[in-house]
Amino acid sequence: MLRAGCQLLTQSTVAAKTGSNNFALEFVRWRRKPRWLPVAKSKLFRVPERKKQSEEERTELMRLHNHYKTQLRSVRQYLREEVVRQQETSTADHIVLTPEQEEAEFQRCVEVNNAWNAKIAKEREVRLAKEREEKVAYVQERLEAGKLREEERRERANERVRYEIEQSKTFITRENLDEAIETALANPVDHNFAIDLAGNMIKGRSTQPQSN
Protein backbone atom coordinates (compact mmCIF):
# COMPACT_ATOMS: atom_id res chain seq x y z
CA MET A 1 0.00 0.00 0.00
CA LEU A 2 2.89 2.33 0.83
CA ARG A 3 4.47 1.56 -2.55
CA ALA A 4 1.25 2.46 -4.38
CA GLY A 5 0.98 5.70 -2.41
CA CYS A 6 4.56 6.65 -3.28
CA GLN A 7 3.95 5.97 -6.96
CA LEU A 8 0.79 8.10 -6.91
CA LEU A 9 2.63 10.96 -5.15
CA THR A 10 5.49 10.79 -7.67
CA GLN A 11 3.11 10.88 -10.62
CA SER A 12 1.20 13.83 -9.11
CA THR A 13 4.46 15.75 -8.59
CA VAL A 14 5.55 15.15 -12.18
CA ALA A 15 2.16 16.22 -13.49
CA ALA A 16 2.26 19.41 -11.40
CA LYS A 17 5.71 20.33 -12.74
CA THR A 18 4.87 19.60 -16.35
CA GLY A 19 1.41 21.19 -16.19
CA SER A 20 -0.29 18.00 -17.43
CA ASN A 21 -3.04 16.06 -15.70
CA ASN A 22 -3.03 13.18 -18.17
CA PHE A 23 -1.56 10.43 -16.04
CA ALA A 24 -2.93 7.02 -15.19
CA LEU A 25 -4.02 6.10 -11.68
CA GLU A 26 -3.31 2.56 -10.56
CA PHE A 27 -5.04 1.43 -7.39
CA VAL A 28 -3.69 -1.63 -5.59
CA ARG A 29 -5.93 -3.58 -3.24
CA TRP A 30 -3.95 -5.71 -0.83
CA ARG A 31 -5.60 -8.76 0.60
CA ARG A 32 -5.42 -8.39 4.35
CA LYS A 33 -7.78 -9.01 7.16
CA PRO A 34 -10.02 -6.20 8.45
CA ARG A 35 -8.85 -3.97 11.26
CA TRP A 36 -11.54 -5.07 13.68
CA LEU A 37 -10.21 -8.63 13.85
CA PRO A 38 -7.78 -9.41 16.68
CA VAL A 39 -4.13 -10.33 16.33
CA ALA A 40 -3.44 -13.82 15.12
CA LYS A 41 -2.41 -16.34 17.78
CA SER A 42 0.85 -17.03 16.00
CA LYS A 43 1.79 -13.32 16.22
CA LEU A 44 0.34 -12.54 19.63
CA PHE A 45 3.61 -12.57 21.59
CA ARG A 46 5.97 -11.87 18.70
CA VAL A 47 8.14 -8.78 19.18
CA PRO A 48 9.06 -7.22 15.82
CA GLU A 49 12.74 -6.74 15.29
CA ARG A 50 13.83 -3.14 15.10
CA LYS A 51 15.88 -2.51 12.03
CA LYS A 52 19.31 -1.14 12.70
CA GLN A 53 20.12 2.22 11.19
CA SER A 54 23.52 2.92 9.78
CA GLU A 55 25.57 5.84 10.99
CA GLU A 56 25.53 7.54 7.58
CA GLU A 57 21.74 7.29 7.32
CA ARG A 58 21.24 8.60 10.85
CA THR A 59 23.60 11.50 10.19
CA GLU A 60 21.82 12.42 6.94
CA LEU A 61 18.40 12.28 8.55
CA MET A 62 19.60 14.45 11.42
CA ARG A 63 21.07 16.95 8.98
CA LEU A 64 17.80 17.16 7.05
CA HIS A 65 15.83 17.52 10.29
CA ASN A 66 18.07 20.33 11.54
CA HIS A 67 17.87 22.06 8.17
CA TYR A 68 14.07 21.88 8.22
CA LYS A 69 13.83 23.18 11.81
CA THR A 70 16.21 26.05 10.98
CA GLN A 71 14.12 27.13 8.00
CA LEU A 72 10.94 26.90 10.06
CA ARG A 73 12.42 29.07 12.81
CA SER A 74 13.56 31.59 10.20
CA VAL A 75 10.06 31.87 8.74
CA ARG A 76 8.54 32.29 12.19
CA GLN A 77 11.05 34.96 13.15
CA TYR A 78 10.43 36.83 9.89
CA LEU A 79 6.68 36.80 10.49
CA ARG A 80 7.15 38.07 14.05
CA GLU A 81 9.37 40.92 12.85
CA GLU A 82 6.89 41.77 10.08
CA VAL A 83 4.02 42.00 12.58
CA VAL A 84 6.08 44.19 14.89
CA ARG A 85 7.10 46.46 12.01
CA GLN A 86 3.49 46.89 10.91
CA GLN A 87 2.44 47.71 14.46
CA GLU A 88 5.20 50.30 14.80
CA THR A 89 4.52 51.98 11.44
CA SER A 90 0.74 52.05 11.89
CA THR A 91 -0.43 55.24 13.56
CA ALA A 92 -4.09 54.33 13.88
CA ASP A 93 -3.62 52.23 17.04
CA HIS A 94 -1.36 54.22 19.35
CA ILE A 95 -2.22 57.85 18.48
CA VAL A 96 -4.79 59.30 20.89
CA LEU A 97 -6.61 62.41 19.74
CA THR A 98 -7.57 65.20 22.09
CA PRO A 99 -11.19 66.42 22.23
CA GLU A 100 -10.25 69.50 20.18
CA GLN A 101 -8.57 67.34 17.56
CA GLU A 102 -11.57 65.02 17.47
CA GLU A 103 -13.90 67.99 17.02
CA ALA A 104 -11.70 69.38 14.22
CA GLU A 105 -11.58 65.98 12.50
CA PHE A 106 -15.36 65.67 12.80
CA GLN A 107 -15.85 69.14 11.30
CA ARG A 108 -13.52 68.26 8.46
CA CYS A 109 -15.50 65.08 7.74
CA VAL A 110 -18.74 67.10 7.84
CA GLU A 111 -17.33 69.62 5.35
CA VAL A 112 -16.18 66.86 3.01
CA ASN A 113 -19.60 65.21 3.28
CA ASN A 114 -21.37 68.52 2.57
CA ALA A 115 -19.13 69.09 -0.46
CA TRP A 116 -20.01 65.63 -1.77
CA ASN A 117 -23.70 66.25 -1.17
CA ALA A 118 -23.56 69.60 -3.00
CA LYS A 119 -21.78 68.04 -5.95
CA ILE A 120 -24.28 65.21 -6.14
CA ALA A 121 -27.17 67.69 -5.80
CA LYS A 122 -25.88 69.71 -8.76
CA GLU A 123 -25.48 66.58 -10.86
CA ARG A 124 -28.99 65.50 -9.84
CA GLU A 125 -30.47 68.89 -10.79
CA VAL A 126 -28.81 68.77 -14.20
CA ARG A 127 -30.06 65.23 -14.75
CA LEU A 128 -33.61 66.07 -13.65
CA ALA A 129 -33.66 69.19 -15.86
CA LYS A 130 -32.55 67.12 -18.83
CA GLU A 131 -35.19 64.50 -18.08
CA ARG A 132 -37.88 67.22 -17.82
CA GLU A 133 -36.84 68.68 -21.17
CA GLU A 134 -36.92 65.25 -22.79
CA LYS A 135 -40.34 64.55 -21.28
CA VAL A 136 -41.74 67.92 -22.43
CA ALA A 137 -40.39 67.32 -25.94
CA TYR A 138 -41.92 63.82 -25.95
CA VAL A 139 -45.31 65.13 -24.79
CA GLN A 140 -45.19 67.95 -27.36
CA GLU A 141 -44.38 65.45 -30.10
CA ARG A 142 -47.25 63.23 -29.03
CA LEU A 143 -49.64 66.21 -29.00
CA GLU A 144 -48.55 67.24 -32.49
CA ALA A 145 -49.02 63.70 -33.75
CA GLY A 146 -52.48 63.61 -32.12
CA LYS A 147 -53.43 66.86 -33.81
CA LEU A 148 -52.32 65.53 -37.18
CA ARG A 149 -54.31 62.35 -36.68
CA GLU A 150 -57.38 64.39 -35.65
CA GLU A 151 -57.07 66.62 -38.71
CA GLU A 152 -56.74 63.60 -41.01
CA ARG A 153 -59.79 61.98 -39.39
CA ARG A 154 -61.79 65.20 -39.74
CA GLU A 155 -60.76 65.55 -43.40
CA ARG A 156 -61.83 61.97 -44.16
CA ALA A 157 -65.15 62.61 -42.43
CA ASN A 158 -65.69 65.80 -44.47
CA GLU A 159 -64.90 63.94 -47.69
CA ARG A 160 -67.38 61.24 -46.73
CA VAL A 161 -70.03 63.89 -45.98
CA ARG A 162 -69.44 65.64 -49.32
CA TYR A 163 -69.66 62.32 -51.15
CA GLU A 164 -72.94 61.47 -49.44
CA ILE A 165 -74.30 64.95 -50.26
CA GLU A 166 -73.49 64.45 -53.94
CA GLN A 167 -75.06 61.01 -53.88
CA SER A 168 -78.18 62.34 -52.15
CA LYS A 169 -79.01 64.39 -55.25
CA THR A 170 -79.92 61.15 -57.06
CA PHE A 171 -81.94 59.70 -54.21
CA ILE A 172 -85.69 59.05 -54.76
CA THR A 173 -87.62 61.12 -52.26
CA ARG A 174 -91.32 61.56 -51.61
CA GLU A 175 -91.36 64.72 -53.77
CA ASN A 176 -89.83 63.15 -56.93
CA LEU A 177 -91.31 59.68 -56.52
CA ASP A 178 -93.89 60.13 -59.35
CA GLU A 179 -91.27 61.52 -61.72
CA ALA A 180 -88.93 58.62 -60.99
CA ILE A 181 -91.72 56.12 -61.71
CA GLU A 182 -92.56 57.79 -65.02
CA THR A 183 -88.85 57.82 -66.00
CA ALA A 184 -88.48 54.14 -65.20
CA LEU A 185 -91.56 53.20 -67.20
CA ALA A 186 -90.46 55.30 -70.18
CA ASN A 187 -86.95 53.85 -70.17
CA PRO A 188 -87.16 50.15 -69.39
CA VAL A 189 -83.84 48.48 -68.60
CA ASP A 190 -83.28 44.78 -69.06
CA HIS A 191 -80.33 43.54 -67.01
CA ASN A 192 -80.38 40.08 -68.57
CA PHE A 193 -77.63 39.33 -71.10
CA ALA A 194 -75.83 36.40 -72.62
CA ILE A 195 -72.39 35.77 -74.12
CA ASP A 196 -71.90 33.63 -77.20
CA LEU A 197 -68.86 31.54 -78.13
CA ALA A 198 -67.25 34.50 -79.89
CA GLY A 199 -67.44 36.61 -76.74
CA ASN A 200 -70.22 38.90 -77.97
CA MET A 201 -72.59 40.22 -75.30
CA ILE A 202 -76.30 39.87 -76.20
CA LYS A 203 -78.44 42.11 -74.04
CA GLY A 204 -82.15 41.55 -73.38
CA ARG A 205 -84.35 38.53 -73.52
CA SER A 206 -85.92 39.44 -76.89
CA THR A 207 -82.70 40.13 -78.75
CA GLN A 208 -81.91 37.46 -81.32
CA PRO A 209 -78.29 36.53 -82.10
CA GLN A 210 -77.07 37.44 -85.58
CA SER A 211 -76.67 34.52 -87.92
CA ASN A 212 -73.35 34.20 -89.68
Task: Tell me the pLDDT band of 29, cut-offs 50, 70 and 90.
Answer: low
CA 134 – CA 209 distance, rounded (Å): 78
Q: Is the pTM of this model over 0.75?
A: no
CA 120 – CA 113 distance, rounded (Å): 11
CA 154 – CA 148 distance, rounded (Å): 10
- pLDDT tens-digit readout, 122-161: 999 999 999 999 999 999 999 999 999 999 999 999 999 9
CA 111 – CA 208 distance, rounded (Å): 113
Using the predicted structure, report yes or no on whether residue 19 has a pLDDT greater than 70. Answer: no
Per-residue pLDDT, 201: 81
At 11, phi and psi to the nearest 5?
Answer: -65, -40
Instruction: With CA atoms as reference, report the closest residue to 194 among 184, 209, 180, 183.
Output: 209
- pLDDT tens-digit readout, 89-120: 765 555 667 888 888 899 999 999 999 999 99
